[in-house]
Amino acid sequence: MPPEVSGIAASRVREGIFYAHADHGNAAELHAFERTGTYDGVHPVSGVTNGDWEDIAAGPCPDGSPCLVLGDIGDNDFVRQTIAVVLLPEPGGAGEEIRPIGVLEAAYPDGPHDAETLLVHPCDGAIYVITKEIPAGVYRFPPEAGKGVVTLEKVASLDVARWIDDQGVVMGAGLTGGDWDEHGERLVVRSNLAVWEWTTDPADPDGHWDVVPRLHQNIDEPLGEGVAFAADAAVVTVSEGTPMVGHVLVCDQVVEPEQICTFEPIYDTPGCGCGHAPTGGAAWLVALLTGLRRRRADSLGVEHSA
């Protein structure tokens, strides 16, 4: 695995596989690993450089096929005039080289920002960036993305400092990752030490931003960076460093999606397959394991093992 894991995404093609990447100054490549923590190999990414890759998400390619979307969105010094996302077709097997199918370039409407959170809506393919500042800005790529440098649309501001736990302890460090589930009904974001979740409406992807999300719990994960939904709706988190620390928040029962994606997509994609329900799942181990069992957004208890 890379020494500084910055983002992870669950494969929509290869069952049980997750993809991870490092941030600025590292090679342009993805690393694949199984839910058990077993390393599955490296995938070189041709034709691009790792400017500052900070997050990755699974979602539909412009033609509706499964894509991995890389967010070259980091900017610690607030000097970048443009950011970019790289569209990658999902590899079909271990070790395959990945050739990008496109790069979308964009500028913020209000000057440079540092960001580590990239989201792709699973039903319409809309791409979002959430900045790391407090308050955090939520920006969306416009429909004309891919036609030169476009201007991002600001859709919300998140007062992360208000997101506190039951004891009133502020958990509002800058956001370092996020992911939508494959049905468009759950959305998670994380800081270095906590994960929050919204329930979202697939037909109204921006309807939740004014709602304070639910706090899962503090996660003992120094330098926590990546978060992703697994195929069975478990939430997987990872940190920088060696060994890589991983946590899992596990669904313990099947829940049918409440809606299917029937509205018109923004980017001319055919929509998502929202008929797949989570089946429950066992936790996996990387270096540290904490299983938090949940039925959709409602906490049912905490289980620890190592």
Domains of the chain (ranges; CATH) run 5-305 (2.120.10)
pLDDT at 154 over 80: yes
pLDDT at 84 over 90: yes
The torsion angles phi and psi of 161, rounded to 5 degrees, stand at -65, -20
Helix (H) or strand (E) holding 293: none
Query: 10 Å Cβ neighbour count for 242?
Result: 11
CA angle 289, 238, 168 (to 5 degrees): 80
pLDDT at 273 over 50: no
Distance CA 117, CA 227 (A): 10
Quote the percentage of the chain above a pLDDT of 70: 77
Look up the pTM and report it: 0.84
pLDDT per residue over 15-38, tens digit each? 899 999 988 778 899 999 987 778
3-class secondary-structure state, position 231? coil
Question: DSSP state, 251?
Answer: B
Distance CA 115, CA 242 (A): 23
